Chain A
Amino acid sequence: DSGVTQTPKHLITATGQRVTLRCSPRSGDLSVYWYQQSLDQGLQFLIQYYNGEERAKGNILERFSAQQFPDLHSELNLSSLELGDSALYFCASSASSPGQNYGYTFGSGTRLTVV
């Protein structure tokens, strides 16, 4: 157990639907990052939150949004789902910014399948 908890582990849903992925960071970590891994792609950065505020955005679609709550857990909302959104979604946490020598602790991921 890495200390980062992601739920659910698996999710199957239909096109056009909306889902919410949840992440609880490791105790003491203030930063939460969301990544997407699609078939034959590396880990693609989506968005980062630090202590409740959005810190950086990557290749996140407008149909996707996220937030970090006062208790530091984060949710990634995916709407108007398309077949191409099927992927493994990882949450990671760190004490601060990775540029300050802190590595990430990853959750076990949520496998999303859109049918």
Chain B
Amino acid sequence: ILNVEQSPQSLHVQEGDSTNFTCSFPSSNFYALHWYRWETAKSPEALFVMTLNGDEKKKGRISATLNTKEGYSYLYIKGSQPEDSATYLCASSGYALNFGKGTSLLVTP
């Protein structure tokens, strides 16, 4: 099973700050990299699926980049809002998704 690491473990920012977190994964036998957003008391929701080196995806104020050669992906949030508070999970795709432990983001007004 591929080992997926995420950093930082947690992050606390002020409303309006931009932030980013990292997902690293083994670059061998790479298929796809997934990002999920998981709010407390809810189920994880898919944000992005990326497959190609250099891929960049965007959804509103959230964007992600992918480097398959060096095995990392960044998730960026521009102008964080309190509703962005959640745990952000990345997962590398093999026969099933192998998830990292997530980055817990808290945005305070």
B93 touches A98 (CB 8 A): yes
A106 touches B96 (CB 8 A): no
CA distance A108 to B43 in the complex (A): 5
A58 touches B99 (CB 8 A): no
Known contacts being A33-B96, A58-B96, is A106 close to B101, with CB within 8 Å?
Answer: no
Count the A-B residue pairs with Cβ separation under 8 angstroms: how many? Answer: 65
CA distance A83 to B96 in the complex (A): 27
Q: Quick one: which of B1-52 are within 8 Å of A by CB?
A: 1, 31-32, 34, 36, 42-46, 49, 51
> Residues of A at under 8 Å CB distance from B?
2, 4, 33, 35, 41-43, 45, 48, 55-56, 58-59, 90, 97-99, 101-109
> Residues of B at under 8 Å CB distance from A?
1, 31-32, 34, 36, 42-46, 49, 51, 89, 91, 93-102
